[in-house]
Structure 1
Amino acid sequence: MHTILLLTVSNIFMTFAWYGHLKYKESPLWIAILASWGIAFVEYCFQVPANRIGHYEFTAAQLKTIQEVITLIVFCVFSVLYLKEELKWNYLVGFGMMIGAVFFVFKEW
């Protein structure tokens, strides 16, 4: 559970680092880059421990899959609440298909 929590916090920071500046397009690009780097540093402070702790329980591929699912969920919430963008049905279908891949990664064959 620690891994999931750390990955979630890390993804919240990274989503702001990658997409938060889109709300401030009038700001110079170099400021957006520096702000994103600062936010990304904080993200790494959660991501690295999440992967280190999680690797005792999960494989690297499983960790990456968990991270991608969390990223999709965080991004959906972020894009609707922060960027005020519509979450279209085709986005949800596409994201759902990616989440469906989780079955294949975690299934014991």
Structure 2
Amino acid sequence: IRLVSGSGLCDGRVEISINDQWGTVCDDLWDINDGDMVCRQMGCGRAVSAPQGSRFGPGSGTIYLDDVVCSGSERSLTKCSPHRGLGVNNCDHAGVVCSVGSIP
């Protein structure tokens, strides 16, 4: 997992790697709980915001995950459910701003 096009390592468009190919995560149903999961997975504290609508620009790869819902107990974003399945989507790109490294 990585965050791209933000101001640092702990904010940006959410991207995941599947079979060594980077792709993005859909913003449908994306919220602060999903952002928290990403921030924790990256060691970046908690989510301050979970922007939708390509705030950090569009990704160039496949949108891998859509309709992601995290409860907070998962260890990685791909363990959150439900999602439509890898590569199935109808949306824009999800982003996150984490508490560690965020600009006040």
Same fold (TM over 0.5): no
More helix by share: 1
Q: Kindly name which structure, 1 or 2, has the bigger radius of gyration based on alpha carbons.
A: 1
More strand by share: 2
TM-score with structure 2 setting the length: 0.29
